[in-house]
Amino acid sequence: MALFDFFNRRNTDPQGEMTFIDHLEALRWHLVRSVIAVLIGAVIVLIFSREIVDDILMAPTRSNFISARWLCSLGQHIGIGQTLCFPPVNAQFLENTMTGQFISYFTVGFIGGFIIAFPYIFWEFWKFVKPALSEKELKKTRGVIFWVSLLFFTGVAFGYFILTPFMVNFYFNFKLSSQIVIMPSFSDYLENLIYTTVGIGVLFQMPLLVMVLARIGIVTAKFLRKYRRHAFVIIVIAAAIITPSTDPFSLTIVTIPLYLLFEASIMVAARINQQQEKEAKEWS
């Protein structure tokens, strides 16, 4: 029912009445343009693939990585010495299949294209949804493309600058035996990097998701506070999926910011509930 109600509300488009098939056709073209944007971004990434791999993707594996140097300087500044300094890591990667690097080449292009095109992809999605919103709803969603993009890129940056170097350092320095040589495949490293950047970027959309659900009355701040413990368990599970390791160290690094986002979501929901109560009193 909700799906058909959404399509019915889109019929208020000043361009005229649209059938269900017309809506699907419009959605198809939004998707086509989004795919084209990703492909354009992918081509740009693939042109500079060698520089991107050497200078960006491999950077978190080096001891002179910008966030590693910043954390080390921070530790010395606050008087805890070398505690936050990463020990040196000799990170080398192996590919034991003929097609490994070839597949990784296109994976880098596609993921890079998606990251570059993300604001445009959401803009296409927003163009499809926008006709179903009332004037009042549109006023309350001003700047949504900016905030969605900002949260996404903030999550990607957190995963790249903080989570990835911590994980690389932890795994390369974890030793069961001195006879074991750590040399993972580049495909394995790339897969983890995607989880800890794009995955975190998607999860950083939590406050906006809660804002939408609060505005349409599905969740309230009271509800979120009541199920805070349950939410924490769900966040830990999500963190375990994203890392995708289950060691306490990586889980903690991912769980803390996600839980802080959940608390921020409660504040957002509380503010929206207060506005809704105020509007209800004015109407009564």
Asked whether residue 39 is domain-assigned, the answer is yes
Q: Is residue 154 part of a domain?
A: yes
**201-254 confidence digits (pLDDT tens):** 988 888 888 887 787 777 888 888 888 888 889 888 877 776 655 567 667 777
Distance (Å) of CA 179 to CA 95, 182, 186: 21, 10, 22
Total length of the chain? 284
Do residues 160 and 76 lie in contact, with contact meaning Cβ atoms separated by under 8 Å?
A: no
In a domain, 112, yes or no: yes
Residue 44 lies in a domain: yes
- Its domain, for residue 38, covers 19-168
pLDDT tens digits, one per residue of 107-146: 999 999 999 999 999 999 888 877 776 777 677 777 888 9
Establish if 130 belongs to a structural domain: yes
**Distance, CA of 133 to CA of 142 (rounded, Å):** 12
What mean pLDDT is predicted for residues 251-258?
81
Q: How many domains does the chain have?
A: 1
Across residues 168-194, what is the average pLDDT? 86
Q: What is the pTM (predicted TM-score) of this model?
A: 0.79
**Domain assignment present for 90:** yes
249: in domain: no
